[in-house]
Amino acid sequence: MVLYSVILPTYNERENLPLIVYFLDKTFNNAKLAYEIVVVDDSSPDGTLEVAKSLQSAFGESHITIVSRKGKLGLGSAYSAGLAKSKGGRIILMDADLSHHPKFIPEMVKVMDQNKVDIVSGTRYSKGGGVAGWDWKRKLTSRGANFLATFLLNPGASDLTGSFRLYERSAIEKILPKVRSIGYAFQMEILVHAKKENMKIGEVPITFVDRIYGESKLGASEIVLYLKGLLQLFFTT
């Protein structure tokens, strides 16, 4: 049986982590899929690490692995650290803040199995997908960022900035060391490298739900980083 490793980078997700772990456990058990969750915490000041340890005691070390890092070291290195500790043949990258609901995972698995793709991307921008809880400014920002990336790079996917994806382990291990972008451009660069490597990408429509607990990490500085990353990829790939 294939083991699915879910890598959850966390920073101040004390309230959200128990909920996402519960939903993941329920989803995998109902679908009769083997799973592990790798929590990568960057020294969250809100006590996320202590919550993760409690969940590990409740669900067992076979289901929850914890990587505790000193300082806020970034999303890309969090994925790399989680991947190094994971054991699964397939890897799921998703947010821990409940914006990505695990209920879409079985459909992702189905698409990967039936279509023999290397990556399945959850998309907000195809029929059946969408967002909930965003104001018009956030929607406009997201749509604009996605349109620019599609126009300039055309990596063959409808949602370039989304981070809810299922990977064959061989695919993410090949791509991740090549990614240099930080922030929201990180997800976009993954798909650019996937296209260069002639990897096959499938899609599953998802509904992205704005976080209930905690604060969004999207701000002006993240938008600037995204635009810089987009232009760098345009001129170098």
**Would you say residue 135 has pLDDT above 70?**
no
**DSSP tally for the chain: helices H, then strands E:** 8, 9
Report DSSP letters for 183-222, one per residue: TTHHHHHHHHHHHHTT--EEEEE-EEE--SSS-----HHH
Of 134 and 236, which is predicted with more confidence?
236
Residue 217: which of 80, 93, 72, 120 has the closest Cα?
Answer: 72
Contact 28, 35 (CB under 8 A): yes
pLDDT score of 161: 81
pTM of the prediction?
Answer: 0.86
pLDDT, tens digit, 9 for 90 and up, residues 49-107: 999 999 999 999 999 999 999 988 888 889 999 999 999 999 999 999 999 999 999 99
pLDDT band for position 197 (cuts 50, 70, 90): very high
- 3-state helix, strand, coil split of the chain in percent (to 5) is 45, 20, 35
How far apart, in Å, are the Cα atoms of 143 and each of 93, 146, 160, 217? Answer: 22, 5, 10, 18
Residue 186: which of 230, 220, 122 has the closest Cα?
Answer: 230
**Would you say residue 3 has pLDDT above 90?**
yes
Q: Where are the alpha helices (DSSP H) in 48-184?
A: 48-59, 75-85, 105-115, 136-153, 169-175
Of 198 and 184, which is predicted with more confidence?
198
pLDDT, tens digit, 9 for 90 and up, residues 28-45: 999 999 999 999 999 999
